[in-house]
Amino acid sequence: MTISSAQETPPAMKQSRAKIWIRTVILAVFGTLFTLALYQDMASGVFRWPWALMAFLPCWVIGFWMRRWVPMQVHPAAQCITMSFDRIYFALILFLVIAKAITGRVEGMTIWADVIMCVILGLMVGRLSGICLRVRDLKMRHNLYGQVRETKGQHA
């Protein structure tokens, strides 16, 4: 039995699991670097936890909302979900990283660099958690969880 070309997974698109892991690794790298920098600034008294939360929490909500912008496609025959590259999010994060690098080098702008780090982390955490929930919802809606379990059970 052949799979129709409409149901095949496009070769240029990565499955949701791979893209989620890539985003998780990127978040872990940024999160580690930014958390260390924030900790140093908080320990020296330059920045405070309430300020970090005031920047992080609204951006977490915005990042969670931005999950809707991620182009996703369900492929029932291949039992997977694929995602496309989101240029708007990439441009936003790139802009914020550049702004953080510039403000971090300018004397007296350390607080703004810390705020930008919290904004980046909030957007990344919110968007990644939103994407994970959206993929889970799509898998449940298209009954991909049950099919995967049955297939694994038959081959075992």
Element of type H or E holding 72: strand 72-75
User: Would you kindly state where each structural domain of the chain is located, as residue ranges?
Assistant: 14-155
Q: What is the pLDDT of residues 43-69, one digit of tens each?
A: 999 999 999 999 999 999 999 999 988
Q: Which backbone phi and psi does 77 adopt, to 5 degrees?
A: -65, -40
Does pLDDT of 148 surpass 60?
Answer: no
- The β-bridge relationship of strands 72-75 and 14-15 is unpaired
| Average pLDDT value for residue range 5-24 | 66
Least-confidence region, from 37-51, 76-90, 128-142: 76-90
Least-confidence region, from 13-17, 64-68, 72-76, 87-91: 13-17
| Average pLDDT value for residue range 12-20 | 68
Least-confidence region, from 17-26, 29-38, 60-69, 71-80: 71-80
Does pLDDT of 5 surpass 60?
Answer: no
Q: Are 56 and 124 in contact (CB under 8 A)?
A: no
Lookup: tokens for 110: 């350390």
Does pLDDT of 128 surpass 90?
Answer: yes
> What does the pLDDT read at residue 6?
47
User: Residue 144 class from Cβ within 10 Å (0-12 exposed, 13-18 middle, 19+ buried)?
Assistant: buried
